[in-house]
Structure 1
Amino acid sequence: MLNIGAKIKELRKEQKMTLAQVAGDRITKGMLSLIENGKAQPSMESLQHIAKQLNIDVSELMQTEDHHQIKKLYREVEKKRLALSKFYGEKNFNEKVIELHDTILPFVENGSLKGTTFEEVRIYDAYLSLRYYAKMDLSVKPFVKLVKMYEQVHAYSKILSTFDRMAVIQFLERNYTEALNYLFEGEKYIEKYGDLIDDLEKLDLYYNITVVSAAINDDEQVERYIETAFTLSKEKKLFYRLNEFYRFLFLIHCSKEEGEKAFYYLKKMRAFVEIMEEPAETVMEQILTLSYTNQIEKDYEKTIATRYERIDIPGGIFTNIFFNGEYAYAYYMLGRYEDALTHLKDIEISSNNQHPIDLAIMYRAFAVRALCQFMLGDKENAKRDVLYATDGVKDFKITKEIQFILDAHKKIME
């Protein structure tokens, strides 16, 4: 039911304004008080004046109580959704997800989220995401409907983020071709709506195409979309995701032992780290420096001598396998098998890293451990680790890291 007076009163109090401030010089405080308490009906001229004083559109005062509830829910959901990131990886993360899901559920069940406003679509978006996080529905299908809903409310940038989401779902299942197809569908909307789509959303899409293309070793496509992203970044003077693009180019050239190109992008990353002073980026630069020393310079003594002060970052425990993997690789190449094993005692594959490039590097650590065990006469554990590593990369195309694993398998299992 429409209650304009109550809505005016609530908005006035939210903005901490007095009756006199809202009344201004067009209506009296007494009249405004009567309107707020439902004892007088304002004219359209008065409503327009009140809306102007409250710095809102007059249409907001004409909205129904149902819509008012939706806007209130929208603010609550967005606030809690943002806060969820702080609990990611914590024991109570799933509990927080379910709690927010149950807040939205009644509005889904009573048909309030029709998709006629941006707020309704955003709440429904959150609902679908929460169901995915809680493993209630791990399919892509619900998000297909969301694309049309965002288009209907002219939220074109959110269309791209929805296609990104669908691609990630497929990517985590290692359905790389399907993931790329969703991203290419998203790219069509860039052609359709152009400048109506936020540039950062475009860069997200190009980055994800790069990630998935790298997963299937399509280096030509990787470089093409990185160039597209760089062109947009230079044109609009954006730094968003630049370092992540540099990282992919570094890993590709490092894996091919193209030292000059790899070092060029390593320098780019170092410059970026100096400017941003972001702990996570610093850690990544350190890991890739060790990789460069091992794979390009092949100076294993230098790798061992290069030690970094520990930097605490969210999920940092999973960076250990990358650091320890590089140190252990250097020790193995120097024939110092026992030293290598001391770095590989408690390694594990991170569930957060599902990209073939990351996985190949992590599984290589298990192959290094297997080779060291084999050289020290522990053939049983060597076979266990090398079989685990080989099985982990069996669906990936051959890279230098994967070839190392396959060669270790051949040596140990013969």
Structure 2
Amino acid sequence: MSLGSRIRQLRKERKMTLVDLAGEQITKGMLSLIENDKSKPSMETLNYIAKKLNVSIGYLTQEGDEEWTKNVLENRDFYSSFSFPFEIVEQEVLPNLDKVAQNLKGMELYHVLRIYYRYKKNHSQADSYSQKISNFYRSIGMEHLVVREKLDDAISLMFSQDYTEAFYHLLDSEEEILSFKEYDSRIELDYYYVKGMFAVSVDMETFENVLNWSIKLSYKHENFKYFFTENITLGYYYGLTGNQAQYNICCNNIQNYLKFNRQDRHEIEIIDENNPIPTFYVLVKDKEKHVALYEDYINRMKKVYQNNPDEILGRSFFKAILEVEHTYFKGEYRKVIEMYDDGMYLRTTAQHPVDRILMAIRSCVYPLSLHYSGEKEKAIKAFTKIESTIDDIKDSVFATEFYMIGDIIFEKQNDSH
């Protein structure tokens, strides 16, 4: 939107005539020329118009098209956890970069572009958008957003699955980020949560210590934003490493949390409330019990989606997964083979390393079904293909069950399934 168009739009929004806005300092004719972009106002005139409209000069002179930027960001595909709008970015945004408004909404769109280039592993281009965002916040005196942008920049590296780089990038900004905790206690909690989760790919001792510290901060600030996820992840870790005491603490934390913080999302995140943090997702001991749990889980999910018809992102993703896993636990292996699709467990959006490993583990219902159906060569091939999706994190402790499944498929141990 041009300067003249913005002035005219604001004048009309305030139900002012040309005469009202012109006042005694400029003529109606001069204002008309300015609004039609046929004359550029002096700084003195611009300052006068801004005061009359009760906005800053910076707001009047910002570049780009506010309406276009706002409309682009209203597309729900930008907020999906299951897909990234590559086509929209390439067909609508990149050819119209001059339309990106230089305001807070424009910075949101720049963040989308940064993620796009992280996906493409074009880090120099992504970094240029990080710089644009920081420069904008600094130019309008919002230094706290400049600091928070450093956290967002590190998080953006997750989309290229460069977890180790993201961790050290975050450490480089630690002092500056935490210097703002006096003004914004949330930034401290955000920082330690992100640091702890990224540490999964770097140092498990740091992962454990930082997430436990973050949980203590949750109590201190009475802000339980990450409490659920932290306890689920830590509990899973303790379950895999045999630390039963700490595992029980995390399970109790989740059960107590759900008593006071029940949300719809929890209905689709926990299969068994009596055992909220499972250690095994596929190699379960009691398959009949798991069949019943899945049936209840599927019914709970249906209710959630019925009660929230506008929040359907991910429904098809989860529905397909649940149906194939439910079929597997019923022992209908041939049907699993027919239902399964290679892309079923893969998101185009980046996932945290633990999430990626869990999706790989759960997708093993397919090679296991092939194995139990006697198609052992196909089972090995399918398992190897899944393994390639977690090649960068396959040595993680969280991959324990995955390789236990591999031992079954490669017949390195006996299993009665």
TM-score, normalization: structure 1?
Answer: 0.69
Q: Which runs of 5+ in 2 are unaligned?
A: 35-40, 306-311
**Residue 101 of structure 1: aligned partner:** 94
For residues 175 and 286 of structure 1, what CA distance do their matches in structure 2 show? 31
May I ask how many residue pairs the two structures share in their alignment? 378
Whole-angstrom CA distance in 2 between matches of 1:90 and 1:326: 22
**2:206 maps to 1:206:** no
User: What's 1:83 paired with?
Assistant: 75
Contact 1:128/1:142 (8 A) holds in 2: no
Aligned CA distance change for structure 1 residues 364 and 34 (closer, same or farther; 3 Å): closer
Deviations 1:225-250 (A, max 9, x none): 33444455445443433333333233
Does the Cα contact within 8 Å between 2:154 and 2:170 map onto a contact in 1?
Answer: yes
Q: C-alpha displacement at 1:283, in angstroms?
A: 0.6
Is 1:179 the equivalent of 2:162?
Answer: no
Would you say the 8 A contact 1:328–1:343 is kept in 2? yes
**Other-structure match for 2:315:** 316
CA contact (8 A) 2:148 2:187 kept: yes
Q: Distance in 2 between matches of 1:288 and 1:343?
A: 26
2:355 equivalent in structure 1: 358
**What amino acid is the match of 1:210?**
G
Q: Distance in 2 between matches of 1:47 and 1:398?
A: 62
CA distance in 2, matches of 1:134, 1:8: 35
1:138 aligns with 2:121: yes
SS of residue in 2 equivalent to 1:285: coil
- 2:340 aligned residue (317, 325, 346): 346
Sequence identity of aligned pairs in percent? Answer: 18
Larger radius of gyration: 1
> Residue 149 and residue 305 in structure 1: after superposition, are their counterparts in 2 closer, same or farther (change >3 A)?
same
Match of 1:388 in 2: 385
How far 1:87 sits from its partner (Å)? 7.7
Contact 1:209 1:225 in 2 (8 A): yes
Q: Sort the Cα spacing of 1:291 and 1:236 in 2 relative to 1 into closer, same or farther, 3 A.
A: closer
Give the CA deviation at 1:178.
0.8
Taking the aligned partners of 2:6 and 2:159, their CA distance within structure 1 comes to 46
Partners of 1:163 and 1:185 within 8 A in 2: no
Alpha-carbon contact 1:246-1:265 (below 8 Å) kept: yes
Q: Are the structure 2 counterparts of residues 360 and 31 from structure 1 closer, same or farther at C-alpha, using a change threshold of 3 Å?
A: closer
**Cα RMSD over matched residues?**
4.7
> How much does 1:401 deviate?
1.7
1:134-192 deviations in Å (ceiling 9; x for gaps) = 78953222344534525743444444554445434543444322110112223232134
Q: Per-residue displacement from partner, 1:281-337 (whole Å, max 9, x unpaired)?
A: 3211237877746749954432221223143441233335764576467x4xxxx7x
- CA distance in structure 1 between the partners assigned to 2:47 and 2:365 by the alignment: 74
What's 1:190 paired with? Answer: 177
On the 8 A contact 1:176/1:215 being kept in 2, the answer is yes
Give the aligned partner of residue 224 of structure 1: 209
Instruction: Quote how far apart the aligned CAs of 1:22 are.
Output: 7.0
Residue of structure 1 aligned with 2:249, choices 261, 265, 283: 261
Matched ranges for 1:15-414 at <5 A: 15-17=14-16, 36-37=31-32, 54-57=53-56, 60=57, 68=60, 70-71=62-63, 73-74=65-66, 76-83=68-75, 85=77, 88=80, 94-95=87-88, 98-105=91-98, 119=102, 123=106, 126-127=109-110, 129-130=112-113, 132-133=115-116, 138-145=121-128, 146-147=130-131, 149=135, 152-153=138-139, 154-160=141-147, 162-195=149-182, 198-216=184-202, 218-256=203-241, 258=244, 259-268=247-256, 270-271=258-259, 274=262, 276=263, 278=264, 280-286=265-271, 292=277, 295=280, 298-306=285-293, 307=295, 308=297, 309=299, 310-311=301-302, 312=305, 313-320=312-319, 323=322, 327=326, 331=329, 338-339=331-332, 342-343=335-336, 345-347=339-341, 348-351=344-347, 352=349, 354-394=351-391, 395-399=394-398, 400-411=400-411
AA at the equivalent of 2:165: E
